[in-house]
Amino acid sequence: MEPYRTATPDDAAAIAEIVTLAFSTDPLWGPALARPDGGLDHQQAYWDVFVAGALRYPATGVAVDDGRIGAVTVWIPWGGTELTPEQEQQVDDLIRAELPDRDAGLHELFRRFEDARPDEPHHYLSLFATHPEHRGRGLGMGLLRHDLERLDALGMAAYLESSNPANDARYAGVGFEPVGSFESPMTGAPVTTMWRSPR
């Protein structure tokens, strides 16, 4: 049976959990969202909002492994937005409540992400994550290839920001090319922006 399918709102909690677990150790987002107590509840609440924003569109993909969602590709289609104004306010409220000392730094980081976005039509890979228990099986990259085949059929380009240099070669292997970079204003962690023209 085909392991890849389009996500539904019923998948929201599982997707947010996978993103939370994967990004808690990310070189950029791990330190940016970490609390001294090491808890992840606030990070789950943060990513819940972004997943809900993306699921307004039928563009998020999931890969199912052993009956469970093992990997996710969270896409924002061209012309869409990551968050509604209400969801932006939710994120602001969460940051002020949970990470008040990083309010200015996180908003500057958000601005750098927005400034780097290209103007040409594209689908935006906002989040890409594999559950730690499902890593090493090719599940995530298989899902990404599946999605890119769909975008190729539409004649649509794809764009992403790689927040982990260890992943840059994987993205290059499926046709993404570096087009720019910026750094976290809080830690200096590098972000590589990458573009893939349709095949």
Residue 136 pLDDT: 83
Q: Is 185 within the bounds of a domain?
A: no
**Domain coverage including residue 29:** 4-155
Number of domains in the chain: 1
As a whole number, mean pLDDT of residues 92-96 equals: 96
Residue 181 located in a structural domain:
no
**Within a domain: residue 191?**
no
83 within some domain: yes
Residue 74 has what pLDDT?
A: 98
CA 81/CA 55 separation, integer angstroms = 11
Mean model confidence pLDDT for the chain: 96
pLDDT tens for residues 25-47?
A: 999 999 999 988 888 899 999 99
> Is residue 70 over pLDDT 60?
yes
In a domain, 178, yes or no: no
**Is 1's pLDDT higher than 70?**
no
Within a domain: 175? no
In a domain, 16, yes or no: yes
CATH code for the domain in which residue 28 is found: 3.40.630.30
| pLDDT digit string, tens, across residues 127-173 | 999 999 888 888 999 999 999 999 999 999 999 999 999 999 999 99
Q: Reply yes or no on whether the pLDDT at 197 is more than 90.
A: yes
